[in-house]
């Protein structure tokens, strides 16, 4: 996507092809810092500490991580044992987004078909690049399939602004291009539909106010940052026309794991008859788990709750909010049951949140 006129993705291969670069998203929007990843440990840290985050980007970073494991293999020996052990470590970096193991396993499988060390390195890089491009295209398609949903509301409202609420950051920073939840917004905006986005700030790490607001602003999309608990009130007063969120893992039965707080938005949307859509590429479906309650929910460092980050005198700073000795609990995701989801927007089109409808869209997964 363009930022200040420049094409930008959240991950790219450095001019030195043994280094992968990522935007260190921890410091956005106030500081733009690029990190070098040249060891598997650095890739793991980048995923764990959320320099990179968002399910599709975690998947692509994991895919490049396999390449890093190959290209930095001790003595240049890209053995099965080395690769399998490094891939296990990569996959353990974050538990909820299913894209991570999907991306890592796909690159591993492709490269292990090769016999020589150098062919393995080349295959790993090639597959990581293919995944990156596929995910960019998937998001573009999600935008095209989501467009009619926004168009229809716009028509019903006689071209008055369509108010869309979103939670967390499921934008291009979380993917490669366009985003998932934001793809229909970008596509609608580019097609001259008047939209306005309610951006949940998304405590504790504020991916909404830091990242989604930044992205939308750079594209010229009208938006308003709101405290996480505001959505229900807006819905009761007719100020939200639809909700679109992303997901870290969605079971093939339609249960949706996404950033903590998503479930409460879905409940409020249901109570107010507001369509609640989840946008995702097929890499985010879990084709094995049937029950969303079985999705592993990441618990993160309580300090992310206790401290708030912001700009102070031109420096990004953390400040303590609760009493220093109060314990905090940091559950990173929750699960919205399929019954609260109006539909999915995928690269193959839209469907209802039921096993039958999902499998009809992806019959090869049966
Ligand atoms: O903890 P994060 O920032 O990785 O969580 C991200 C989300 O919850 C996103 O909504 C989800 O990954 C979808 S990204 C297209």
Average pLDDT of the segment spanning 229-233: 98
**Are 172 and 81 in a shared domain?**
no
Rounded to the nearest integer, the mean pLDDT of the chain is 98
Q: What's the number of domains the chain is made of?
A: 2
Identify whether 248 is a catalytic site residue: yes
Give kind and range of the element (H or E) at residue 214.
Answer: helix 213-219
Q: How confident is the model at residue 11 (pLDDT cuts 50, 70, 90)?
A: very high
Q: What pLDDT digit, counting tens, does each position of 141-185 carry?
A: 999 999 999 999 999 999 999 999 999 999 999 999 999 999 999
Instruction: Please confirm whether the linkage preceding 215 is cis (ω < 30° from 0).
Output: no
Q: How confident is the model at residue 86 (pLDDT cuts 50, 70, 90)?
A: very high
Which among 241, 248, 255, 286 is annotated as catalytic? Answer: 248
Q: How far apart are CA 341 and CA 278, in angstroms?
A: 7
Residue 233 has pLDDT above 90, yes or no: yes
Residue 58: give its domain's CATH number. Answer: 1.20.120.420
Give me the sign of the Cα torsion angle 187, 181, 35, 119.
negative
CB-defined site of ligand 1, < 6 Å: 53-56, 97, 168, 170, 174-175, 179-180, 207, 246-248, 258-259, 332
Residue 218 tokens read as 């750079």
Question: Would you say 361 and 348 are in contact if contact means Cβ atoms under 8 Å apart?
Answer: yes
CA nearest neighbour of 109 among 133, 134, 135, 128? 128
Distance, CA 245 to ligand 1 centroid (Å)?
9
Question: Would you say 361 and 349 are in contact if contact means Cβ atoms under 8 Å apart?
Answer: yes
Residue 4 has pLDDT above 90, yes or no: no
Q: What pLDDT digit, counting tens, does each position of 302-347 carry?
A: 999 999 999 999 999 999 999 999 999 999 999 999 999 999 999 9
Question: Would you say 158 and 238 are in contact if contact means Cβ atoms under 8 Å apart?
Answer: no
pTM of the model: 0.98
Give the range of the structural domain holding residue 278, as residue numbers without chain letter: 142-365
Helix, strand, or coil (residue 127): helix
Residue 226 has pLDDT above 90, yes or no: yes
Tokens 């028509």, residue? Answer: 155
Looking at residue 201, its pLDDT comes to: 98
Residue 210 tokens read as 């830091």
Of all protein residues, the one whose alpha carbon is nearest to atom 5 of ligand 1 is 54
Looking at residue 2, its pLDDT comes to: 86
**Are 85 and 171 in a shared domain?**
no
**Are 104 and 155 in a shared domain?**
no
**Are 264 and 302 in a shared domain?**
yes
Residue 273 has pLDDT above 90, yes or no: yes
Decide which of 134, 163, 188 is a domain's last residue.
Answer: 134
* CA 324 from centroid of its chain's CA atoms: 32
**Are 340 and 321 in a shared domain?**
yes
Q: Tell me 210's DSSP state.
A: I
Q: Tell me 161's DSSP state.
A: P
| Ligand 1 atom nearest 332 alpha carbon | 1
**Which of 168, 301, 347 to mutate to test ligand 1, by most ligand atoms within 8 A of the CB atom?**
168
Decide which of 134, 163, 180 is a domain's last residue.
Answer: 134
Looking at residue 135, its pLDDT comes to: 98
Average pLDDT of the segment spanning 131-135: 98
Residue 258 has pLDDT above 90, yes or no: yes
| Ligand 1 atom nearest 180 alpha carbon | 15
Instruction: Tell me the angle at which helices 40-48 and 80-91 cross, rounded to the nearest 10 degrees.
Output: 20
Tokens 């609990």, residue? Answer: 329
Residue 358: give its domain's CATH number. Answer: 3.40.50.10470
Distance, CA 207 to ligand 1 centroid (Å)?
8
Decide which of 102, 134, 166 is a domain's last residue.
Answer: 134
**Are 22 and 109 in a shared domain?**
yes
CA nearest neighbour of 136 among 74, 180, 197? 180
Question: Would you say 188 and 248 are in contact if contact means Cβ atoms under 8 Å apart?
Answer: no
Q: Tell me 160's DSSP state.
A: P
Looking at residue 204, its pLDDT comes to: 98
**Are 12 and 33 in a shared domain?**
yes
Q: How far apart are CA 203 and CA 212, in angstroms?
A: 13
């Amino acid at each position: 996507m363009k930022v200040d006129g420049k094409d930008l993705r959240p991950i790219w291969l450095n001019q030195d092809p043994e280094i992968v670069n990522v935007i260190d998203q921890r410091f956005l929007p106030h500081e733009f810092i690029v990190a070098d990843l040249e060891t598997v440990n650095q890739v793991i840290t980048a995923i764990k500490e959320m320099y990179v985050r968002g399910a599709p980007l975690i998947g692509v970073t994991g895919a490049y991580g396999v390449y890093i494991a190959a290209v930095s293999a001790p003595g240049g020996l890209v053995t099965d044992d080395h690769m399998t052990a490094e891939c296990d470590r990569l996959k353990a970096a974050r538990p909820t987004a299913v894209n991570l193991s999907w991306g890592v396993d796909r690159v591993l499988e492709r490269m292990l078909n090769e016999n020589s060390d150098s062919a393995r390195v080349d295959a790993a890089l090639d597959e990581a690049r293919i995944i990156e491009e596929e995910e960019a295209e998937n998001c573009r398609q999600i935008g095209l399939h989501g467009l009619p949903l926004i168009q229809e509301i716009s028509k019903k409202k006689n071209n008055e602004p369509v108010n869309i609420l979103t939670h967390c950051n499921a934008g291009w920073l979380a993917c490669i291009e366009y985003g998932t939840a934001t793809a229909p917004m970008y596509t609608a905006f580019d097609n001259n539909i008047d939209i306005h986005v309610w951006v949940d700030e998304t405590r504790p790490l504020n991916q909404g106010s830091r990242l989604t607001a930044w992205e939308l602003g750079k594209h010229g999309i009208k938006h308003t940052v709101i405290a996480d608990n505001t959505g229900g009130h807006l819905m009761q007063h007719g100020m939200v026309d639809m909700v679109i969120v992303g997901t870290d893992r969605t079971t093939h039965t339609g249960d949706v794991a996404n950033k903590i707080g998503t479930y409460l938005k879905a409940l409020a949307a249901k109570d107010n008859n507001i369509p609640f859509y989840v946008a995702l590429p097929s890499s985010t479906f879990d084709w094995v788990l049937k029950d969303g309650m079985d999705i592993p929910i990441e618990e993160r460092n309580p300090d992310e709750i206790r401290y708030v980050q912001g700009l102070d005198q031109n420096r990004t700073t953390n400040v303590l909010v609760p009493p220093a000795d109060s314990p905090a609990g940091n559950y990173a995701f929750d699960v919205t049951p399929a019954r609260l989801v109006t539909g999915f927007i995928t690269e193959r089109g839209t469907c209802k949140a039921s096993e039958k409808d999902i499998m009809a869209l992806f019959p090869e997964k049966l």
